Structure 1
């Protein structure tokens, strides 16, 4: 049976509350409202009990005629760690036990102070093993973070139904809006932004960016160009109604000189134009980080790049921001106008309310992940234990009867196994002489390999000089004259003459075919004519032998040992 719940997202400046129907296929929204979050109440996801918060909450509930006391919180914090993991394709009711068994491996920290939950991202097949596995997003939240929301709920007279993670809330709210195409949803909040890449209605990438729309709103407030002493809400509303953002980050380059003038020398229009430049420039880091995530995903998924980009959250309400983002990323960025909920238009009847403000609060009620405080978990575990105890007694009686049968069966099996063991021990004893022969064979084989290695180290290229000379006789032209021949352990130097340069070229080409040579260097080619006008070409050839690879390997190993020392 479906029940109404209050889904709450506590932001740095505003707290958003939705009264929604929980546990139905089509989530229905009844009411939406927001109020100012007390200063210093929220710090990196942790909340403090606050009388001001409780009073504001009660006043708003009374204004909208809400008496519901059941709540779902959606939270965001840098203290919530997340990992994408692969596990075998087990039954879904066993996934949590698999995660808990390996949680120390996923999160190398003191896991006793953390609460774990997960969401199934996809079912993938490993290429090398061709085995299907679950791709999971595992979340670990500090227990005291979760407890802080239970304490706040108790202080306000509320009962916690579930606690969801901001990323899952956003996904649940928008997943049905995307079918086969690969899409990115960008939720820009005050101080941070959440990016989801969705493919086939599954999250394939999730990233948090520590930049939001707050800096743009503060820039407007500090400028006084749109009014003095603007409140945060007034500035945010101005952004919804007026386009205060330029069409590109560099659109104001030509106007920066005038923007450096003193305020007293600028007209109102010039002050507004300067403020637009400053507001646009303040969004540079946010846009650059969004582009970095897009490039990261597309570079690793070139066959299925991001085809659609949707903007929501406070950033979706900033008039002109989607156009600026479209220009910088080179792809059309749309503002989210539809989510997975019914009656939403009626609930957002106040013109200052938007889809972006309440998208995660509504999504949290659809399918929350379910972080649970330790105290609540202990009560639940106790009830489960009592239920298991009753079942245990029934199983015990049946187990005793089965055990007697198994004992008799095991006794017979034991006698058979002992007999088999004795037979194997006899065979092992008879084969012991074979082990001695095998060990002798291994020793001789090692000695043989050492002798071969020593033999290879004694070989020098000059040992095959006679074969080299014979190869010269076979391959050199008949009219070649060898004037001198000098051989060392590394090379052979020959002074030669032939009848023409063409013959000299043939000699050099033939020398390059010698497998025993590594390099051929030619020097001092001269051409002379004697008294009979017979042409003679004289030149010197330096032939370097191929190096002994075994010696090189030995030298390299020795060098490595010296460096290691």
Structure 2
């Protein structure tokens, strides 16, 4: 999904007619065409599949992951893997705050690594992105947008003119002898999308697609066959927990599809702040310090106790999310948990979470044997989001 300001000032009318999923998979020229035409109704267009190499960015508040890869006819190939520190306060809650500084940093990285690929994708997450399931009357497809906008407005006190909507039909339900559609609505803030679009233009890149992390993980999971990799049954519910610096993303997938998602406004920065104050370690050495000195299953020295208290708070919030998910439907269960991201690497985290939650927990151990890769095949925990964003479906 990328957007471009229409010169005929008809943005609001056009935006209502866009399908989010279509935009996420659409070539830039088609996006431009859609935004430049005054159409009361937007018809879906299909473009022939073409082999396209992209540079993809996973834009986090603490680190940015970059890969260069190609997805063509169900064949995925990744050429480069790069991790850099995000300039301080350049990205806050998924929104770009320091575009020029960020563009300068990324430009240097692209040049240093000899990346000349022009098509670019971004994936991110934000508490400002709204994800809801709602019931609406069963209507024809051309009426869907109007009905969804009316219904979602009853749930959320927001101005929908500031959002782009994706609507996915999950199924049908009978309510009071009337057939209803159960739909998932994702509302993506237009200002965040424009921020990434403009950033890529500053880098002289061609904005190709904008993804959401939980959607990227979904594509990665289905492509790599992660269910069979960890001996999951096809109907199992799997919770992917991305333990980032500012947020912990809890995404639950059932039968290969996103079923539930929540964001916890905590993360590795909470631990870093304590260690910086109490240990005297430098910020540049904090990651190595945590690996050497922190062990959730180790001795109860003062630092370990403080870190464990933070992790216990995270796990308590995760447990509440899981319980809420279970309470929504008597059939909802969590069969496995996969953790990834910076804080998942704390010594003892895997077994500690499994013990606290009573659910089998694994640190993602998928290697690059699942697809073509130009490096040594080490685990790809930190690159799940960005690799998933390369996959277009």
**TM-score higher than 0.5:** yes
Q: Cα 1:172–1:54, aligned 2, differ >3 Å: closer, same or farther?
A: same
Indicate which of 55, 58, 80 corresponds to 1:31. 80
Deviations 1:487-517 (A, max 9, x none): xxxxxxxxxxxxxxxxxxxxxxxxxxxxxxx
**Which structure is higher in helix share?**
1
- Partner residue, 1:185: 240
How much does 1:156 deviate? 1.4
Structure-2-length-normalised TM-score: 0.75
**Is the CA contact 2:149–2:160 (under 8 Å) kept in the aligned structure 1?**
no
Give ranges in structure 2 of 5+ residues lacking alignment: 1-49, 228-233
Deviations 1:371-419 (A, max 9, x none): xxxxxxxxxxxxxxxxxxxxxxxxxxxxxxxxxxxxxxxxxxxxxxxxx
- Partner residue, 2:344: 316
How much does 1:52 deviate? 4.1
Indicate which of 294, 298, 301 corresponds to 1:244. 294
Partner SS, residue 331 of structure 1 = coil
- Partner residue, 1:61: 110
Deviations 1:9-29 (A, max 9, x none): 221121111112145424322
Q: Cα 1:237–1:355, aligned 2, differ >3 Å: closer, same or farther?
A: farther
- Partner residue, 1:390: none
**Is the CA contact 1:316–1:356 (under 8 Å) kept in the aligned structure 2?**
no
Task: Within 5 Å, give how 1:517-528 maps onto structure 2.
Answer: none
**Structure with max Cα Rg:** 1
| Pairing 1:172–2:225 present | no
Task: Within 5 Å, give how 1:331-350 maps onto structure 2.
Answer: 331-338=359-366, 342-343=370-371, 346-347=374-375
Does 292-301 or 280-289 show the bigger shift?
Answer: 292-301
Q: Cα 1:106–1:69, aligned 2, differ >3 Å: closer, same or farther?
A: farther
Indicate which of 262, 265, 278 corresponds to 1:223. 278
- Partner residue, 2:61: 12
- Partner residue, 1:365: 390
**Is the CA contact 1:7–1:73 (under 8 Å) kept in the aligned structure 2?**
yes
Larger RCO, structure (CA 8 Å, separation 6 or more): 2
Task: Within 5 Å, give how 1:124-135 maps onto structure 2.
Answer: 124-126=172-174, 129=177, 131=179, 133=181, 135=182
**Is the CA contact 1:191–1:212 (under 8 Å) kept in the aligned structure 2?**
yes
Task: Within 5 Å, give how 1:406-417 maps onto structure 2.
Answer: none
Deviations 1:117-155 (A, max 9, x none): 2445x324336548473x332122332221111121111
Structure-1-length-normalised TM-score: 0.54
Partner SS, residue 5 of structure 1 = strand
How much does 1:360 deviate? 0.9
Give ranges in structure 1 of 5+ residues lacking alignment: 253-272, 369-565
Partner SS, residue 311 of structure 1 = strand
How much does 1:359 deviate? 1.0
**Is the CA contact 1:164–1:364 (under 8 Å) kept in the aligned structure 2?**
yes
How much does 1:231 deviate? 2.6
How many residue pairs are counted as aligned between the two chains?
A: 336
Q: Cα 1:53–1:344, aligned 2, differ >3 Å: closer, same or farther?
A: farther
Q: Cα 1:339–1:101, aligned 2, differ >3 Å: closer, same or farther?
A: farther
CA-based RMSD: 3.0
Partner SS, residue 109 of structure 1 = coil
